[in-house]
Structure 1
Amino acid sequence: MTMSAYKTTFPWLRTVATNRAVIPARRCFSTSPSVRDAVGSTLPAKKPVGAFRGGIFGFLTGTIVAGATVYYYILGEYRVSNEMLTEDIYALQAATQKLQTYIGELETRVDQLRKK
């Protein structure tokens, strides 16, 4: 039989042959035990960090960062309020001085009027 006779007589044979050709060959990656042991021994053993230790470390870090942020914020607000209070004290002192000089002038005028 020729190739064309096979194609017409057994059409299912063509689909099976085509499907097998499409499937790629699988490769297995494996090593022998001696190679695996040699590679594994070069890496240091890592100590696991437990959830409890990690949680406490994270909590303390967050608390310290939040505390430092609040401290510097309050310190800045304190400086601003202290400067405003100082300005108000100087303004009050200036107003008191003006009032003292004005009262002093009034007293001298009243004394001059009484002498006349």
Structure 2
Amino acid sequence: MGVRASVQARGFRSSQRLMDSAAPVKKPVGAFRGGLVGFLLGSVMAGAGMYYYVIDEYKVSNELLTEDIFTLQAAVQRIENYVKTLEDKIAEIGKKK
């Protein structure tokens, strides 16, 4: 019986030592806190993606608008030249008569 008692006492001591040396238990992340963090992280990532998409679209539309403005300026310049030429020809015809 003495052996049996020492085994039980030894088992108790070793389990106590294992409990003392065990790593502290981490506090579990609650569902609400985890959901809130996930929602905020997803919102920030979606916002950042949308920001870069909008900036890219803005650059493309700005380049197209600039190209259209230059085309319009060239067309106005050609019309001004045609009108000046036409006015000069009308003035020459008026001088001949």
| TM-score class normalised by the smaller sequence | 0.7 to 0.9
CA distance, structure 1, for counterparts of residue 19 and residue 41 of structure 2: 34
The C-alpha deviation readout for 1:26-68, integer Å capped at 9, x for no partner, is: xxxxx93333333333312312110010000000000100111
Give the TM-score normalised by structure 1. 0.68
CA distance, structure 2, for counterparts of residue 87 and residue 105 of structure 1: 27
Q: Does 1:32 align with 2:18?
A: no
Identify if the C-alpha distance between structure 1 residues 109 and 73 changes in structure 2 by more than 3 Å, giving closer, same or farther.
Answer: same
> Structure 1 residue aligned with 2:38, among 42, 54, 58?
58
Alignment size in residue pairs: 86
Unpaired runs of at least 5, structure 2: 1-9
Q: Does 1:45 align with 2:45?
A: no
Give the TM-score normalised by structure 2. 0.80
CA distance, structure 2, for counterparts of residue 33 and residue 49 of structure 1: 33
Q: Which one has the bigger helix percentage?
A: 2
**1:71 maps to amino acid:** Y
CA distance, structure 1, for counterparts of residue 39 and residue 29 of structure 2: 15
Instruction: Give how far 1:88 is off.
Output: 0.2
SS class of match (1:44) = coil
Aligned to 2:55: 75
Taking every aligned residue pair, what percent have the same amino acid on both sides? 49
Structure 1 stretch displaced more, 42-51 or 62-71? 42-51
Name the larger-Rg structure: 1
Unpaired runs of at least 5, structure 1: 1-30
